[in-house]
Amino acid sequence: MRVLGIETSCDETGIAVYDTELGLLSHELYSQVKLHADYGGVVPELASRDHVRKTLPLIQRALANAGSTAADIDGVAYTSGPGLVGALMVGACIGRSLAFGWQVPALGVHHMEGHLLAPMLEDERPAFPFVALLVSGGHTMLVRVDGIGQYQMLGESIDDAAGEAFDKTAKLMGLDYPGGPRLAKLAEQGQALPELSFPRPMTDRPGLDFSFSGLKTAASQAIAKQPTTGHSDADIAYAFQQAVVDTLAIKCQRALQQTGLKRLVIAGGVSANVELRRQLEVLTAKLGGQVFYPRNEFCTDNGAMIAFAGAQRLQAGQSEDLAVITKPRWPLDTLPAVSLPAVSFPAV
C-alpha cells in the first residue's frame, strides 16, 4: 500500500510517500522558522496561510521524487490533531479533497502517535512492548506501548512541556527563536558549578508526572542575579539543561522499573538533544535494556511519521468518511488498536 502523508499541525509543512512493501520513498519538509522569528514564537494565522502556500507544491515534489503519480497512491493520511486548529484544517482539507478526487481512503492521524512510531522508520527498531518518552515543545508524556493503538498513559506534564520550558528560558536569556536548540548549543560551552544548581521538579515524590514551570522560574531568577553572581549564560544554560535531562531520566528509570520493560523509545523535538540521548543510553545500558530514537530529521514534525502511522491504520482497514474533522486536543490513549498481523515494517 502506498500512502501520501501530510503534516501541518504547527509551523512545519511535511509531506512524504510511504510504501508498506518498499518503505519510505520520499519526504519533503518546509520550516517556517524565518517567518515567525521576528515574533519570537509561532503566530497561528501566519502559520495557516503559509501551509496554504506550501502544501500542494511539496506534494507535487514528494510524488515526483517517489517516482509516483496520483494513480499510484492507495491512501492519504493527514494530521488531524493535536495542534493549531487553523494549521490542521489546511492539511485536513487538502488531504481529504485529494483522497476524494483520487477515490482512495483517507485517515486523520494523531500527531503524537506519528512521533511515537517515528523510530519504526529506522533499520533498528524497537519491538513491542516498550516505554515511550514523548517530549516536544507541546507535550511531555510517558506511555506504555503494547502495540499500535495500545497505549497506557503513565505520566505527563501538569504545566509546561519540556520543550516549552527550553524555549521560554532561552527567550529570557535573549536567544533568538527557536530558542530551545540554541540553548542546548550554548550549554555545550558551560560547566557544572556547585553554587548554580536548579531543582529536579517532582522527583522527590512518587509518580511519573512532570512539572517544568518552576524550573523556568528558577532559571529566570539566576538570569536576574547575573550582575551579582557573574555566572555566564553558558553556565546557566548548562545548569538548566542538566536539570531538565536529569528529571526526564529519573522519570524514565521509574517507568521502566514500574512496568518491568527494558526497551525505551524517545521521540519528539527534544529527543534530538544530545545530552538527553547520552543519559538515556547510559541508563538503559545499566538496566540491561536499550533506547531507540529516530534520526534527527524525524525528531521534529515531519510528513514521514504521518505517512507511516497512517499506512499502518489504512492497511488495517481503518478510514474516515468525507467529513473534515480536526482535534486540537486529542488524548493519545483514546485511539483504537491495530491488530499486529496487519502491521509491516520494511527496511527504509
Residue 111 is labelled as binding a ligand: yes
Residue 134 is labelled as binding a ligand: yes
Closest to 148 measured CA to CA, from 165, 163, 126:
126
Q: Is the Cβ–Cβ distance between 73 and 107 less than 8 Å?
A: no
Residue 115 is labelled as binding a ligand: yes
Q: Is the Cβ–Cβ distance between 307 and 18 less than 8 Å?
A: yes
- Is cis: bond before 129, omega within 30 of 0? yes
Residue 149 is labelled as binding a ligand: no
Residue 230 is labelled as binding a ligand: no
Distance (Å, whole) CA 109 – CA 91: 11
Classify residue 323 as exposed, middle or buried by CB count within 10 Å of its CB (0-12, 13-18, 19+).
exposed
Classify residue 146 as exposed, middle or buried by CB count within 10 Å of its CB (0-12, 13-18, 19+).
middle
Whole-number Cα distances in Å, 179 to 50, 62, 79, 172: 21, 30, 25, 10
Residue 180 is labelled as binding a ligand: yes
Q: What are phi and psi of 293, to 5 degrees?
A: -155, 155
Residue 137 is labelled as binding a ligand: yes
Radius of gyration of the chain (CA): 20
First to last CA, the chain: 15
Return the H-helix or E-strand segment holding 245: helix 233-259
Residue 136 is labelled as binding a ligand: yes
Angle at CA of residue 25, ends 134 and 131, nearest 5°: 20
Whole-number Cα distances in Å, 127 to 22, 119, 297, 298: 20, 11, 22, 19
Q: Fill in the amino acid letter for 261.
A: L
SS3 state of residue 344: coil
Distance (Å, whole) CA 270 – CA 143: 16
Residue 65 is labelled as binding a ligand: no
The binding site comprises 111, 115, 134-138, 167, 180, 273, 301
The binding site for substrate comprises 134-138, 167, 180, 273
The binding site for Fe cation comprises 111, 115, 301
